[in-house]
Amino acid sequence: MRSTAFALAVFVLAGALSGARAQNYPWCAAYDTGDNAYNCGFVTHEQCMVTIRGMGGFCERNTQFQPQLPYDR
């Protein structure tokens, strides 16, 4: 049990120190599914349009988008 707890602690610590950040993309797809489903994971308007094609919905700019500065180590 101790070795499992230790391995888990090492794994969590390694993840915390890796500098991982949430992604932020400039385009959102609003799906026409009746439940206000959004996906703001698109770099270009074209990517968004291809995703909603056949499903219905529309693409719009992500109002929360902030370009990330280069990460210096």
Confidence at residue 55, expressed as pLDDT on a 0 to 100 scale: 87
pLDDT exceeds cutoff 70 at 73: no
- Identify the CA nearest to 51 among candidates 59, 65, 33: 59
In a domain, residue 53? The reply is yes
* Residue 41 falls inside a structural domain: yes
In a domain, 40, yes or no: yes
Q: Considering its fold, how many domains does the chain have in total?
A: 1
pLDDT digits (tens, 9 = 90+) for 1-58: 677 766 666 666 655 555 555 678 999 999 988 888 999 999 999 999 999 998 899 9
**Is 1 part of a structural domain of the chain?**
no
Segments of 1-73 assigned E as strands: 27-31, 38-42, 57-61
What is the residue range of 40's domain? 23-67
What's the half-sphere exposure (Cβ side, CA atoms, 13 Å) at 1? Answer: 0
**pLDDT score recorded for residue 61:** 97
- For position 46, what pLDDT does the model report? 97
Q: What is the pLDDT of residue 16?
A: 56
The answer to whether position 48 is within a domain reads yes
From 36, 26, 40, select the one nearest 57 (Cα to Cα). 36
